Amino acid sequence: MKLHSQILKFSNPQILFAVLAWSLFVLRFGYRYGTGDQVELLPYTLLLQNSSLYEHDFFIQGLNASVPNERTVMANLLLPFVNHLEIFCFVFQLLSTVVLILGLEKLARRFIQNKYVAWLAILVALIPLNDFALGNVELYSECFQASGLAVAVIVWAINLFLDRKYLFASALMSAATFIQLLEGLDVMMVLCAILFISAVRNEVKWKVFVGFLIIYAFTAGIYLVVVFMQKQVIVGVSNQELFNILFEFRHPHHFIFSAFSKTKLLVFFTLTALSLLFFTLRSKQLFQLVLIGLAGVIVYAIAVDGLHSVFIGNFQFYKVTQWMKFLGVVAVFGFAEQYLSSFTSSLPASLERAGLIVSIVLCWVVILNYSSILPYKVPFQLFGMKEQDDMIAICEQIKEVTPPDAVFVQPFDNTELKFYSQRSSYVEFKANVRNKAFVTEWAKRVEEVFGVSAQLQTKGFALRQKADAYFYNARKEQLDLLKRKGVTHILTKRLYPASTGQLILHNKTYAVYQL
């Protein structure tokens, strides 16, 4: 009960700040529903409810070929809400973000006495410094997904770890790993290393370390082994070919150190250096977390970029860097607190609450009424607002006018078709099957539809311009070949009519042809 009350005891201003932070995140980064990263989750949830869906979808069928897989737990968590996914995804995204912010505040307040300075540190880390961790990972996501829920759990595991409640921390890390495999595994490896060092130095008893390890090993550890073992089937594929397709071609922004921007690297390593300096005398465990994380990043970069190790690459160790970046921001504001405190004197409780509530309301007035005139463009796929997107609108129409077993090809960066139309895709660049048995077939289909391959010097989503030029100008013989392979429809831009087939649907931007 003591632990329970310690975790759940929050003041009204803390909760209001967390809601305000979430509102600011939505204002700045928008909100996605059924698109983006959810293209790999929500359609799979629909399949679990109705097995007749996505009968010919390459990604869904490849994912479902191995159960359990990396989406199994999260999809099943959403399954009870499948008939009301829109409202529940919105509520869950709010709740997971609030839990994350409260955890980050608790972590920051260990070293920053002034709560306003701590709040500012959180906002700076997650808004202007968003995407300055390595590997294109970040603590906040603009949609409800497994990684967002996992980090909301992990931050509390880190807090419990710092409070020396190691068994509870291990249990939370196990839960986070079930939700998102690598988010939990990568941080758990670092925490295990920290506790091992403490045991060697007789700072904790060995039985504490063993208990910490056993709780995780016999829960999430077993699940990890089962999932990874099911993905080891390789049919005539060399490790180098796997590396070229999965790491360099599809995911350089996640795995390839040399692909990261120099600005991002400079900011990250500067924050890492400052955090090492700050935590040296303030927290031995966080100092070790940052130092071990830095060492792990260096080893990982050498193993992946230099040795092209598929096995090590699969750990995507850059997921640790989002925590290192946040600790670096805490360090910056910890150093600066004495200069900032004079500008952040405490407000009367009533005025503080009123200010937070007014700020939340203003955020949502802008989001709901003035999002179209913001100086930046982000998706606001919020309930009725999402139908203003021509792509979502036509995909919802596709569901009404095409047969359930239709198979589509669609633009290179499209993520709307699968969920909103509930129709199968011949292949997608975003939703790629990580099961090694399907890797070469995925790459072959990508080349057939978009004309891009792992042999090109340009990689990842930087291929969009070349892929679009090929897709939108596909010749009749190319579409005939796809038709023979089972493709029945093409979703394209209205400005680029298909070279063959019958126009069955269009709006002011997009058109659908039956081949």
348-364 burial: b if 16+ Cβ within 10 Å, else e: eeeebeeebeeebeebe
Residue 57: strand, helix, or coil? coil
Q: What is the mean predicted confidence (pLDDT) over 284-307?
A: 97
Rounded to whole angstroms, the Cα distance separating 355 from 106 reads 22
In eight-state DSSP terms, residue 389 is S
Q: What is the pLDDT of residues 97-128, one digit of tens each?
A: 999 999 999 999 999 999 999 999 999 999 99
Q: Return the bridge partners of 8, or none.
A: none
How does residue 85 score in pLDDT terms, banded at 50, 70 and 90? Answer: very high
276 vs 269: CA distance, rounded Å: 10
* Strand, coil or helix: 50: coil
- The tokens for 447 are 């080349």
Nearest to 143 by CA among 25, 291, 234, 62: 25
What would you measure as the largest C-alpha separation in the chain, in angstroms? 75
Q: Which two tokens stand for residue 230?
A: 């099911």
Amino acid at 342: S
Rounded Cα gap, residues 21 and 138, in angstroms: 15
Tokens at 318, concatenated: 């850059």
Q: Which stretch of 196-210, 225-239, 386-400, 461-475 has the lowest confidence by average pLDDT?
A: 225-239
DSSP character for 430?
S
Mean of per-residue pLDDT scores for the chain = 94
**Cα atoms in the 13 Å half-sphere on the side-chain side of 95:** 8
pLDDT at 342 over 80: no
Angle in degrees, CA 317, 250, 411, rounded to 5? 140
Residues contacting residue 241 through CB under 8 Å, at least 6 positions apart: 439, 440
Give 3-state DSSP helix, strand, coil % of the chain, rounded to 5.
65, 5, 30
**Is the pLDDT confidence value at 336 over 50?**
yes
Output b/e per residue, 277-302; b: 16+ Cβ within 10 A: ebbeeebebbbbbbbbbbebbeebbe
* 116 membership: H or E segment, kind and range: helix 115-126
Peptide bond into 379 cis (omega under 30): no
Percent of the chain with pLDDT over 90: 88
Burial class (CB in 10 A: 0-12, 13-18, 19+), 189: middle
Mean pLDDT of 326-354: 87
Kindly tell me if the per-residue pLDDT of 6 is higher than 50: no
Burial label, 61 (beta-carbon count in 10 A; 0-12, 13-18, 19+)? middle
* Residue 493, φ and ψ in degrees, nearest 5: -80, 145
Q: Which two tokens stand for residue 153?
A: 């759990």
| H helices present in 370-463, as ranges | 390-401, 417-421, 439-450
Q: Which of 342-356, 395-409, 420-434 has the highest mean pLDDT?
A: 395-409
Question: Is the CB of residue 170 less than 8 Å from the CB of residue 216?
Answer: yes
Q: Can you tell me the distance from the alpha carbon of 396 to that of 402, in angstroms, rounded to the nearest whole number?
A: 11
Q: How far is residue 446's CA from residue 440's CA, in Å, rounded to a whole number? A: 10
Domain locations in the chain?
13-231+239-342, 387-514
Per-residue pLDDT of 52-73, as tens digits, reads 999 999 999 999 988 899 899 9
Q: What is the mean pLDDT of residues 371-375?
A: 93
- With a cut of 80, say whether residue 347 has pLDDT above it: no
153-166 tens-digit pLDDT: 999 999 999 999 99
